Structure 1
Amino acid sequence: VLRDLAEITHWISVIKITPEAAEDPTVSPDERTRGQAMAAALPMRVMTRMWQMLLKALEEVAMAPNAMMAAEMAIIRLTHVADLPTPGELVKKLQDTTPPPAPTPAPGGGQGGPAAAPTGGGGASLRSAPSKPSGGAPTALAVAQPAQDPLERYARFEDVVELIRTMRDVKLLVEVETGIRLVSYTPGRIEFQPTDKAPHDLAQRLGQRLQGWTGARWAVTLVNEGGAATVAEVRDADQLALEQEALEHPLVKAVLETFPGAKITKITTPKEIEETAAAEALPEVADEWDPFEDE
C-alpha cells in the first residue's frame, strides 16, 4: 500500500510540473482524469510533504519487527497530517497575526502640534504627555559576543597529535610521533628538538598543516636540546609496561606455561575498547517532525 501511495504521489507531482506526462498511453482515461484533477487541486508543498513521509514510512516498515503494525501507524500519521497546516501556512498565519508596530510619536518642539482641548466640567484639562525624542522606536543595543579563540581546543600537544590523526595525514602523524622531542608547547606555538628520524622540513610543514586546519597561525621552531621523549617512545614504554603487567597475570602465566610457544601479540585496554565501540557505533538520527507531538 505504501509503495502504491508513493508511486501515485510521484506521478501526480510529475503531472503538476509536466502536464504532458498524463498522456501516457499505459494510463487509463479514468486514472488520467483523476490524476489531472488531483494535480490541479493539491499544491506542490503538500505533495512534497506526502513524499517525505512515505519515504520515512517505507524505511520504518523495512526495519520494524512487525511490518504490518509499522504500515498501519504510517497510514494513521498520513491521515492525521491531512488536517494540519503546512509549515508555510503556519508561518503565514503567524505573520498575519503579528500586531502592527506602534505609531511613531511626532517630534517634540516649541511650536509642535495643537494642545489638548479641555474636557469635562470643573476647568480640568488634559496635558499632553512629553514626547520621546524623534527617531521612532528605541534602538536595541547589540551586545557583542566575545569571539571564540580557534586555538582554545588545542590546550595540550596531545590535542595537536589527535588533530593530525583525525585529518588522516598518516605521513605527518608518523613524523610527529617519531621525530619531535617536545621542549615547550602553548596553543599556537610549538618548540621541539628534532630526532635523527625527523625530516629537515618538518617544522615548516607542520606549521602549514596546522594553520590550514585551524585557521590560526602556528609558530613551530627548532632547538638543539631539552626535548622530552617522543610520542612513539612514550607509547612503546606504556606498551612494554602493559605487557609486563599482563605477564604477571595468573591466567596469562598459566597459558604460557601450558603452551611454551605462545606469546603476547596484542593488548587492548578497556579504554581502547570503549573508544572503538564509540567509533563504530551508528550515528544518532535526529528525530523528524512528528504530527502527534502537538497533541
Structure 2
Amino acid sequence: MDDSADDDTPMLGMDLPEAPPAPASSGPYRVLARKYRPQTFAELIGQDAMVKTLGNAIARDRLAHAFLMTGVRGVGKTSTARLIAKALNCIGPDGQGGPTIDPCGVCEPCRAITEGRHIDVIEMDAASNTGVDDVREIIEAVRYAAVSARYKIYIVDEVHMLSRNAFNALLKTLEEPPPHVKFLFATTEVNKVPVTVLSRCQRFDLRRITPDMLFAHFSSILQKEGVEAEAPAIWLIASAAEGSVRDGLSILDQAIAHADLDGGGKVSAEQVRAMLGLSDRSSIAGLMGAILEGNSGGAIDLARAQYALGIEPVAMVRGLMDLTHAITLAKVSRHEDPALAEADRERIGDWAQKLGFAPLNRLWQLLLKGHEEVLRANNPLEHLEMLLLRVIYAASMPDPGELAKLLASGAIPAAPQVAPSPAPAADRASTASAPAAPVDAASEPPAAALTVAQIHQLLESTGNHRLAVDLYDHLRVIELEPGTLVFAPTARLADSFARDLADALLAATGNRWQVRAGGGEGRSSLGQMRAAKLADNDARIRELPVVRAALAAFPDAELEPPGDNRHRSNP
C-alpha cells in the first residue's frame, strides 16, 4: 500500500543513517514527514517504555493477539503499528530468523511491509470503513492462514470511527482470534473506543515529544538536508509542534521553503515567527510593560502597530499569556526556555522580582477569559483593546487582602456614613463596596472614617466574631465620625460592648476611638436593613402575576426565602 494513506507521522531518533539526496529528476519531492519515517524501533524517540515492553514480550514469546496505540496526532501510532508488523514477520537476512524487536529491513517481508505491498499485512482506515459489512470481511478472512508471512496482521487506523454495530461484530473474533492473526489498532480518541474492545487489547499510550527532543531531531534532519538554521528558529518550530513530530516536520518543511534565498537559504527566527504569525517577543514585552505601568494609550498603540504588521489579536493575547506564565515560573525558579535571548531572561527575572503571585494570578485569569472573547469576536482588534483597558484597570486595584490592610491602617480613608433615606436600605454587601472619598493628606483626620459595614468587616477579619455578630444585629448608630461612634443603648448589647469595640478598633486601625451609648433611637442596624430589604423583595415577588397565580393555585405554599449570605461567623 502507498504509505501516503497513513495519517500518522512517526518520530525519528537522532542517530539516523544519512540518506543520499535523490536527484531532482528521479521523482517528485517527498516531504520530510514521509522521507524520515522510522524504519526500526531504535529510530522512535520518546517511547522507550513501549519499546521495552514489546522487546520483552517478543523475547519471552508472550505476544498479545491485539494491540492498541493511542496518543495525540503525529506521535507515531500508525508507524508503530507497521514496525510491530515488521518485527513479528521478519525472517532475517538469511531467511531463518524469528520475531525480533530489531527487524532487519532487508528480508522480503520487511521490504514488502515498508513499501506497503505485503499481502498478509492489511491496513484499513476506519474513518471510511465504518460499517458492519467492512468488519464482516475481516471476520471471514481471518479463518484463512497467512499466504507468505508468519502472521496475518490487520492494522485499523482511527479505530474509534467504527460504528457501535461494527465494534459488536468484531468482539468475538477480537477475543479469540486464530493463532496466526494479530490486530493492531490506532486511535487519537481512545475514550470513544468501547470498554469491551479496550479490555481485549494490550494498550500503549504514546507520549508527546518534549521540545528538547524535537529540537535535537529537527537539527539532525536539517544537517542531513544541508540546510542552515538559527537555534532560536528551531526552538520556535519545536514549540509550535506541540509534541507532534509530524506537525513539526510540516512546519520545518514550510520554514525551509520560506527561507530567504538571498541569505543563502538560512532559516531565521524572524522568518519563522512571521511565517507562523507569532508576535515578536520584544513587542509583547513592550505591551506587557505598558500594562504593568498603567499606560493605556501606549498599550493600544503597540497593539495597533502589531495588528498593522499582520499579527492577529488572539496571537498577541497568547503572547501575553506565555509571558505571564514565564514570569510566574521564574518566581519559583522553574522557567527554562533555551529560545530566549539573555536580555529577555533578565527582563522576565526583573518582573518576577517586582510582581507578587496574586497580581500575576489575576493577570492570568483576565487574559485567559479575554483569550476566549477575542477568539470568538467578530472584530478581534476592538475586543483586544477593551481587554487591554480592562487588564490595566484591574492591575491597579489592590486584592481583597491588601484592601483590608489598607483600610485597617487608614491608608485608604472611606467616606463617612450618611443617614439612610426612608426607602429600603441596600444590603450590607453593596454598602461595603461603596467607593471611598478622596481625602487630602494635609487635612486627614486622626482616625480614618469608616462605615458601619467596614467596621463589621474589620472585626471579622481580626477574629472578633462575637463582637461582629452583636454589631451586625443590634448596633443602631446615632453618630459616626472619624474616631467617634455613638450608638443607641439596647438590652441586647452587653455592658462591656462599648469598651470591647473601642479596644478592637484600636487594635485594627491603630487609632483610638470613643465608643459610647447616647440618647435617641439611632439608625437601623445592618441586620435590620437587610431584613427590610428582604421583606421588600418578598413583597415585590408576591406581586408578580406568575407568583400570584401559583399562590392562588396552592394556598398552602410558601415562598422560600433566599439564603442568608451575611458574612457572619458562629460565636
TM range (shorter): 0.3 to 0.5
Task: Output the TM-score relative to the length of structure 1.
Answer: 0.41
Normalising by structure 2, report the TM-score.
0.23
